[in-house]
Amino acid sequence: MAFILTFLGKGGTGRTTLALAAAHKFAASGQRVLLMSQDAGPALENLMGQSIEGKSQKIAPNLQVMNLRSAQLLEESWDEVKKQEAQYLKTPFFKEVYGQELGVLPGMDPALALNAVREQDASGQYDVILYDGDGYQSTLRMFGMPEILSWYARRFQKVFSESDLGRSISPFIQPIASSVLNVDWSGDLMSSQPANQAKSILEQGKEAIANPQRVMAYLVTTERSEAIATARYLWGAAQQVGLSVGGVLVNQSSDASSVGESFSPIAATAVPHQEESNWADLADALPDFRQAVPPAPISLDLQARQVRLFLPGFTKQQVKLTQYGPEVTIEAGDQRRNIFLPSELRGRAVAGAKFQDGYLIITFA
């Protein structure tokens, strides 16, 4: 399993430059590195002085680069869909539709990119994977997708099974499914082999995102106030999707102390101005990303009946809290997080919530 690292920050702060420098830093230490870019612009190609195709290509010892093209990823995914269809359906009906004919629907880019990262991670060919996306909401939606999709799967399964429609047709689902599909269908419809495989992938994704030893983000800013404000907002938004933020890189700066005050308790590292072609000096200015110890996005105090969420960059007025059964939903900024409460807190109503030292502390009755 690879260590997956991404960078968040306002456009123009040098995210792509620092991602490439980090790739060189890891590669120089002997680790096998893949830099995956989904930036539609030419920034990375200009930095390297060469074009990047859809497949990975070697640009330095231990360093491969891949440019993710959504249309190509969709075509490859469509071929896999047709293979699965041929396996489970007696009469496949997608076989006459070709991937080249498909257009990428809005919002699919993060899903395609996440699946590409997952496949490269599962290949076992790399020790480090750096993802260079837009560094903003699209990147956050990508890393938050396992949690979001698992919530939809959990809720819709529950809604369907408890609905009048679900109870009415459940006695007929298994025989109909067995007659239509070339499988021996035992158990309920939601426990089919494809569904279980999808659930397993989502759970693995959630575990990886929640583990800073597996997946981590670093903020990138300059000394400009708007860049700092954007980085702080993205810091809080990353916590909402469960993505750990290990530190902040203050680009083109000789002293990070003043900016670092806005990002306590994570460390701020100054990255002095360097010629972009001088990757060795730029890489030396970067921190040891693997040694970062980020604050936990969520923690529980069962004795005090409290859930603590680290939400820097937000105020109490920007947060909406709702409770539904065993789950609590926190909306902050453009992100929504669903917390499945432990058994000790289920059935207890929210008694209050407050902000303290960057934490949203929810107390239950």
- What is the predicted pLDDT for the residue at 101? 53
Over residues 194-210, the mean pLDDT reads 69
Sheet holding 327-332, edge to edge: 319-324, 327-332, 335-340
Q: How do residues 214-245 score in pLDDT, each as one tens digit? A: 999 999 999 999 999 999 999 999 998 889 99
Residue 193 lies in a domain: no
- Highest-pLDDT range among 99-108, 254-263, 310-319: 254-263
Contact in structure between 249 and 218 (CB atoms under 8 Å): yes
- pLDDT band for 181, please (50, 70, 90 cuts): very low
Total structural domains within the chain: 2
Domain limit, last residue, from 229, 258, 291 = 291
| Size (the chain), residues | 365
36 and 106 inside one domain: yes
Do 281 and 311 reside in the same domain of the chain?
Answer: no
Last residue within a domain, chosen from 241, 258, 291: 291
Same domain, 51 and 117: yes
Q: Which tokens go with 273?
A: 């101005």
Query: Does a structural domain hold residue 260?
Result: yes
pLDDT digit string, tens, across residues 111-145: 788 888 888 999 999 999 999 988 888 888 888 87
| φ, ψ dihedrals at 355, nearest 5° | -100, 135
Whichever domain contains 308, its CATH number is: 2.60.40.790
- Is there a single domain that holds both residue 286 and residue 329? no
pLDDT higher for 150 or 281? Answer: 281
Give the pLDDT band (50/70/90) at residue 307: very high
C-alpha torsion angle, residues 43, 46, 50, 52 (rounded to 10): 10
Contact 237, 334 (CB under 8 A): yes
Whether residues 262 and 243 share a domain: the answer is yes
pLDDT number for residue 178: 54
Residue 149 has pLDDT above 60, yes or no: yes
Higher-scoring residue by pLDDT: 98, 15: 15
Enumerate residues 6+ apart whose C-beta is below 8 A from 77: 99, 112, 115
Predicted model pTM: 0.81
pLDDT in tens, 31-81: 999 999 886 566 777 777 777 766 788 989 999 999 887 666 666 666 666
Name the CA dihedral angle for 357, 360, 364, 365, rounded to a multiple of 10 degrees: 60
Q: What is d(CA 55, CA 68) in angstroms, rounded to the nearest whole number?
A: 8
Checking if the pLDDT of 208 tops 70, the result is: yes
Query: What is the CB neighbour count within 10 angstroms for residue 47?
Result: 16
Instruction: Report the half-sphere exposure of 41 (CA within 13 A, side-chain side).
Output: 10
Is 158 within the bounds of a domain? no
pLDDT at residue 167 greater than cutoff 80: no
88 assigned to some structural domain: no
Answer yes or no: is 57 within a domain. Answer: yes
| Mean pLDDT, the chain, whole residue set | 81
Q: Which of 102-106, 180-184, 219-223, 247-251 has the lowest mean pLDDT?
A: 180-184
Same domain, 211 and 353: no
Percent of the chain with pLDDT over 70: 73
